[in-house]
Amino acid sequence: MQAERLHYEDFTPGRRFELGPRTVSAEEIIEFAKEFDPQPMHLSEEAGRASILGGLSASGWHTSSLFMRMMIDSYVGATASEGAPGIDAMQWRKPVLSRDTLSGHSTVEATRPMRSRPGLGIVTFGHELFNQRGELVLSARNSIMVRQRNPEKASA
């Protein structure tokens, strides 16, 4: 198994990984919001309609967490990853409403070996998620640390 995993060398710029589809239910929107983001527009259809979002809508952090899970199921789960140092940018461009279906892609933008951690490389991705109407709902850019299959001789 280990040998089949994706390593740093497999993430060539331009390579694209499909994400989703994933349908979001009202129940999970409310469940997440109760724990992490209990604002009215994330807790009831009625309050969502009264907000600028237009209906019961997922917390941006919920959408982001679902997006993480979609990346896991697409390629991160099969990658020799050592995690991520953060998010360069994350835009929630349209509300994610209950029963929306999300899909999209991650595209490798750049790669570089990590000087501070020999044997690891940084892979930078651009990400986009769309709803079933083709509207862009999330765009993001981030980097993950990935083990090299054949570590370069690094000047540590």
Is 35 one of the binding residues for a second copy (CB under 8 A)? Answer: yes
DSSP class of residue 93 equals -
Site string for a second copy, 75-94 (x = CB under 8 A): -xx---xxxxxxxxxxxxx-
143 binds a second copy (CB under 8 A): no
Cβ atoms within 10 A of the Cβ of 16, count? 12
* Nearest CB to a second copy, comparing residues 14 and 52: 52
Residue 35 Cβ, how far from a second copy at the closest point, in Å?
7
Cα distance between residue 147 and residue 136, in whole Å: 32
Which of residues 37, 47, 105, 154 is near a second copy by CB under 8 A? Answer: 37
Other Cβ atoms less than 10 A from the Cβ of 131: the count is 19
Asked if residues 43 and 28 have their Cβ atoms less than 8 Å apart, the reply is: no
Contacts of 80 (CB under 8 A, 6+ apart): 2, 5, 6, 7, 8, 146, 147, 149
Answer yes or no whether residue 108 interacts with a second copy by CB under 8 A.
Answer: no
Residues 118-137 that bind a second copy (CB under 8 A): 120
Which residues form the interface with a second copy (CB under 8 A)?
Answer: 32, 35-39, 41, 51-53, 59-62, 64-66, 68-69, 72, 76-77, 81-93, 117, 120, 145
